Amino acid sequence: MAIDWIRLQLDVTDFDLARFQPYVDRCGTSGIRLTTLSELGDTPEHRRALYELNKECSADIPERGDFHAYDEYHRLRFEVPAYDPRGVVLAIDGDKWVGMAATSDRRKSGFVFNEMTGVRAGHRGRGISVAMKTFGIGFAGICGVSTIRTVHHPANASAIGMNRTLGYVDADW
Ligand SMILES: CC(C)(COP(=O)(O)OP(=O)(O)OC[C@H]1O[C@@H](n2cnc3c(N)ncnc32)[C@H](O)[C@@H]1OP(=O)(O)O)[C@@H](O)C(=O)NCCC(=O)NCCS
């Protein structure tokens, strides 16, 4: 049966930073550092760590199926014009990567695209995904666009709920 994907969109010019900054601040006070792959270093080791984090979190996406092998992931995610390490936000607890929010540069089409947001199971429900996406909201401006798009499986209630909390609305693109 065809999947009725949930297509969502956010206009960052309406983004209520004052409302969501407390999520970022809460990460700081609980010892979770937010950064980007660009700031941390876009190295082979860090790309591999991002893959491992992505793979673990993707296991909880409804009907996701088998995850890519690393070579394929590297080709699809890093070796494409839309890849920009400034769009990859990481949440780090001590020395452990616990969350990622990866956004790609689709400026030629007029938007940036949330490729993958994930938080390791033991760290969920603490607002980390909202904090990461708030921390990374400026990436749209870096790319010179004001629209962020994303798409979710209809059964992915946590991801859809998280994006609606941030102000994403249904879109018919
Ligand atoms: C989706 C995911 C990233 C959410 O991460 P998280 O850090 O636990 O989410 P948060 O704690 O930031 O939740 C933020 C908001 O999302 C909403 N939310 C979270 N879980 C929800 C659920 N099960 N149902 C409905 N809304 C939910 C709430 O509105 C919450 O805001 P609040 O805490 O102010 O009420 C996480 O569940 C995950 O990694 N899932 C597996 C990977 C995945 O499916 N990624 C999305 C596909 S790209």
The full DSSP string for 48-111 is HHHHHHHHHHHTTSTT--SPPPHHHHIIIIISSTT--GGGEEEEEETTEEEEEEEEEEEGGGTE
**Domains contained in the chain, CATH given:** 6-170 (3.40.630.30)
Query: Which burial class, exposed, middle or buried, applies to 78 when counting CB atoms under 10 A from its CB (0-12, 13-18, 19+)?
Result: middle
| Cβ neighbours around 31 below 10 Å, total | 9
**Residue carrying structure tokens 């309406």:** 14
Mean pLDDT (the chain, rounded): 97
- Split at pLDDT 50, 70, 90, the class of 74 is very high
Q: Are 110 and 12 in contact (CB under 8 A)?
A: no
Report the separation in Å between the CA atom of 157 and the middle of ligand 1, taken as the mean of its atom positions: 8
Helix or strand run (H / E) with residue 9: strand 6-11
Q: In this predicted structure, what is the pLDDT of residue 3?
A: 86
To test the pocket of ligand 1, the residue of 162, 163, 164, 166 to mutate (highest count of ligand atoms within 8 Å of its CB) is 162
Contact 161 CB / ligand 1 (< 6 Å)? yes
Contact 62 CB / ligand 1 (< 6 Å)? no
Q: What is the pLDDT of residues 89-113, one digit of tens each?
A: 999 999 999 999 999 999 999 999 9
